[in-house]
Amino acid sequence: MTPNPDIGWQFGQMVGDNRKTIRCKFCGKVITGGITRLKQYIAHVTGNVEICHKAHKEISSMLRKHLQDSKTSRSSMQRKKQIALDSITQNTRVSESGSSGGDDIEDIENRELQKAIKEGRKTRVIEEQMRNRYGQGFSGSSSGLDPDSGPYNQSMINTIAEAGTGIKGPKGRQIGDLKRMCTSGDWEADNNTSKRRKEAENIASIIMDGRFWKRAHDICAAIEPLVKVLKLVDQDQKPTMSIIYEAMDRAKMEIKDNTRDWQSYWDIIDN
């Protein structure tokens, strides 16, 4: 069993239990330094003295492109992290310079509530777009784990896959903000027409229902491992079937560990 689904493991075999020592499947030479060093060896990367003379030209070319793409992706990720860090630092400085230090708990809660209300207004346009895409979403499906409706429709899965891994359910503080928003005067004032009042009541009933949030947490916990598999399969260089099966097995075990109704999810995956 290979340590991870890196494409390089298709061309090398780990020696013993040391993942830093790998035998090239083309020439049999043992390479030290890990899977990246093996890929450089097979790809004939400039600057590495040793190269594999038995590797097919197509494989060498493919691995060179793979290494270059990985390098570009890492550089892009580092830039994004730095931008995010700079933004956080700047916001922290602004927050510190504008704080009086004498705020009481009620003032803080009021500010958080106003922030939640503003965010709720911003989401109305997005909500309309999502309604067209998701249909009834969570609130319109009573069929449990039916993969052809509700949160399991293909459009929602595609959208979540585009977002990538790391999907997390809302935190308790965020849920509390939403609940306070639904009971605020601004919420009532913004939904004072007969049509909007009915929609607001439906939304509030969902937000105030603890069972909804438990279900949302379970769904996020079940979808995230599957998104990892989707992104693995969607690579330019397609993984082997053995790697895909191994990834699916890992996803199923992660779902079992993190969800209550794991058997229902397994039934959907296996069928």
Structure confidence by residue, pLDDT tens digits, 62-114: 888 888 888 887 777 777 667 766 665 565 455 545 544 445 555 555 565 56
pLDDT at 125: 47
Q: Looking at the whole model, is its pTM more than 0.85?
A: no
Amino acid 223 reads I
DSSP state, residue 27: T
pLDDT > 60? residue 167? no
Instruction: Give 5-61 pLDDT, tens digit per residue.
Output: 688 888 999 998 888 899 999 999 999 988 989 999 999 887 765 889 898 888 888
Q: What percent of the chain has pLDDT over 70?
A: 63
The dihedral of CA 54, 57, 59, 60: what is its sign?
positive
Query: Could you write out the DSSP letters of every residue in 185-253?
Result: HHHHHHT-SHHHHHHHHHHHHHHT-HHHHHHHHHHHHHHHHHHHHHHHHTSSSPPPHHHHHHHHHHHHH
- Taking only the tens place, the pLDDT of each residue in 192-236 is 777 788 888 888 888 888 888 888 888 888 888 888 888 888 877
Instruction: With a cut of 60, say whether residue 131 has pLDDT above it.
Output: no
